[in-house]
Amino acid sequence: MRHPRFVSFAEQICHMQCATRENASRRGPFGQKTCLIAAYGDARSVWCCQIPADTACEGNLAVGQRFSLQMPSASVGVSSAWLAGCEQSDALFALLAPSTFYVRPIPERHRIIFYLGHLEAFDWNQVREALQLPAFDAELDHLFSFGIDPAQGLLPSEPPEAWPRREQVEAYARRARLAAAEAFASGHVPEVIQQVCIEHRLEHAETFAYMLHNLAPELKPKAAAPLQTDDSAGPAPRHETVLIPAGWATLGRSQSSPGFGWDNEYDEHSVLVPAFRIDRFKVTNRDYLEFVAAGAAPPHFWLEQNGRWYWRTMFGRVPLPLDWPVYVSHDQAESFAAWKQASLPTEAQFHRAAYGTPEADEGGAERAFPWGNEFTSHDEQGRSTGNFDFAAWDPVPVHATPGGDSAFGVSQLVGNGWEWTATRFAPFPGFGPFSFYPGYSANFFDDSHFVLKGGSARTAAPLLRRSFRNWFRPSYPYLYGAFRCVYPD
């Protein structure tokens, strides 16, 4: 008997895997009709199959009954956003040479093998606890449950042998993903937990990209595409500041806002911000070069060779692109600002510059995005609104996306690099942790992390919402962290 919901679900799973496993070359001995065996198989090649929508799959169902027993009603299922997130994270692992899985590209983080298990363990742990499902490997559920963010001087030092073999981790990850998918498909997982799983994965799609950025290019042999250096922005940007008049900025989101928000985004509240001036553009490599010439240490993303500066791109290096935003730590950004007799914007000043409008000062509404109220990649004139949502692996010039300018004329407040603020990460009034993930934010309310706003080329669209807050330690130089300065009016 044909079972259309089952086929549809299996199709999604198989499509997800095929999209990232180079199915043409890896297509295994399993035909389309044995896809459900594939879903429970162990060999990597069995992932590479696809069920056409019109397949009559009596043979499959016999094998897949245990899978289909918990199939959802027609109205619920595995969200396409979760599957898309899986595709994004799988695509990153697919870039890597086999020899990289036990490398630690960033001293403050785990070895790569951890992330192979973590992305699936996180989702599985969340749905397992929500639905009180039995564990199939409690030890690995625990091992891969959470990442690390050590204070200075407490770097991890365990040897590669401390981790399970890659084959074991892959088998665990496959099983955990399917178990999570099965739970989602049951329709019993609370929506907020599904959203937490989606956004956690999307956040890792970016932080894992930072990590891979630190690997030598030869360790990423499956580079997606060579870097396109964007020189379409024309002459170098002129240094300008923009006056932002005094006015109210709305931070956070209200409990009645539609859609998902993390615990640290609540509650919505207003802050009166005195007038200030802000750089129209992010600080560029050209600007920072002067600071380095004056004796400052070069940013982590720069390389010097034979007296010339280069920028380490995701898949190679290019002569230092002078009009790209400089990526630095908070400490470096703060030092540069002090050198310019300026400071970093507070979180409220950032909101005011990005989302405020002259009309809002007279009782109108602030914007949802700097360029307007709808998320869009291009404005009505066809100009790019920003370098975000996986649009590129590297930055573009700071003046390359004028379609995204804010109402006050400030460029690139969203995209092309997160922006460091002067605000320490702390709860908003009305904060309450998620009971099922109490440490997501609260573990970092320690005065040792600073808020970043905006987003980078590798930030997924849902995370570009106004209320989203990012945070890192001030000395952490590995993220796509840009900045601009503010000046007293």
Smallest gap from Cβ 77 to Fe ion, in A, equals 25
Q: Which is nearer to Fe ion, 49 or 452 (CB)?
A: 452
Q: Which sign does the torsion angle of CA 131, 136, 141, 142 carry?
A: positive
Smallest gap from Cβ 119 to Fe ion, in A, equals 8
Other residues' Cβ atoms within 10 Å of the Cβ of residue 59: 15
- Quick note: the x/- pattern for Fe ion over 55-84, rule CB under 5 A, is ------------------------------
CA–CA separation, 382 and 43 (whole Å) = 46
CA 283 to chain centroid = 22
Q: Which is nearer to Fe ion, 14 or 121 (CB)?
A: 121
Smallest gap from Cβ 145 to Fe ion, in A, equals 9
Q: Which is nearer to Fe ion, 204 or 282 (CB)?
A: 204
Q: What tokens were used for 229?
A: 């250096």
Query: Do the strands 481-482 and 418-424 form a parallel or antiparallel pair, or are they unpaired?
Result: parallel
Beta bridge mates, 481: 418
> Residue 338: which residues within 8 A CB-CB, separation 6 or more?
none
Q: Which is nearer to Fe ion, 143 or 410 (CB)?
A: 143
- For Fe ion, the binding residues in 215-274 under the rule CB under 5 A are none
Q: Write the single-letter amino acid at 337.
A: A
Rama region for 213: left / alpha / beta (φ>0; ψ in -120 to 50; rest) = alpha
Smallest gap from Cβ 11 to Fe ion, in A, equals 28
> Residue 74: which residues within 8 A CB-CB, separation 6 or more?
5
CB 85 within 8 A of CB 202: yes
Smallest gap from Cβ 122 to Fe ion, in A, equals 6
Smallest gap from Cβ 192 to Fe ion, in A, equals 17
Q: What tokens were used for 127?
A: 């749905």
Q: What tokens were used for 108?
A: 């403050």
CA within 13 Å, CB half, 388: 28
Beta bridge mates, 302: 311
CA–CA separation, 46 and 163 (whole Å) = 25
Q: Which residue number places its CB atom closest to Fe ion?
A: 147
CB 262 within 8 A of CB 437: no
Q: Which is nearer to Fe ion, 147 or 245 (CB)?
A: 147
Q: Which is nearer to Fe ion, 147 or 164 (CB)?
A: 147
- Quick note: the x/- pattern for Fe ion over 391-430, rule CB under 5 A, is ----------------------------------------
Smallest gap from Cβ 377 to Fe ion, in A, equals 27
Q: Which is nearer to Fe ion, 59 or 147 (CB)?
A: 147
Q: Which is nearer to Fe ion, 147 or 433 (CB)?
A: 147
Per rule CB under 5 A, count of chain residues that contact Fe ion: 1
CA–CA separation, 387 and 323 (whole Å) = 14
- For Fe ion, the binding residues in 89-148 under the rule CB under 5 A are 147
Cα dihedral: 369, 375, 378, 379 (round 10): -60
Smallest gap from Cβ 203 to Fe ion, in A, equals 7
- For Fe ion, the binding residues in 138-157 under the rule CB under 5 A are 147
CA–CA separation, 355 and 350 (whole Å) = 8
Smallest gap from Cβ 149 to Fe ion, in A, equals 10
Backbone angles phi, psi at 43, to 5 degrees: -70, 145
Q: Which is nearer to Fe ion, 115 or 315 (CB)?
A: 115
Smallest gap from Cβ 179 to Fe ion, in A, equals 18
Q: Which is nearer to Fe ion, 147 or 372 (CB)?
A: 147
Q: Which of 477, 351, 326 is nearest to 414 (CA)?
A: 351
CA–CA separation, 261 and 489 (whole Å) = 34
**DSSP state letter for 324:** S
Beta bridge mates, 420: 452
Q: Which is nearer to Fe ion, 202 or 482 (CB)?
A: 202
Smallest gap from Cβ 489 to Fe ion, in A, equals 41
CB 355 within 8 A of CB 466: yes
Q: Which is nearer to Fe ion, 203 or 379 (CB)?
A: 203
> Residue 179: which residues within 8 A CB-CB, separation 6 or more?
124, 127, 128, 133, 136
Smallest gap from Cβ 182 to Fe ion, in A, equals 21
Q: Which residues bind Fe ion (CB under 5 A)?
A: 147
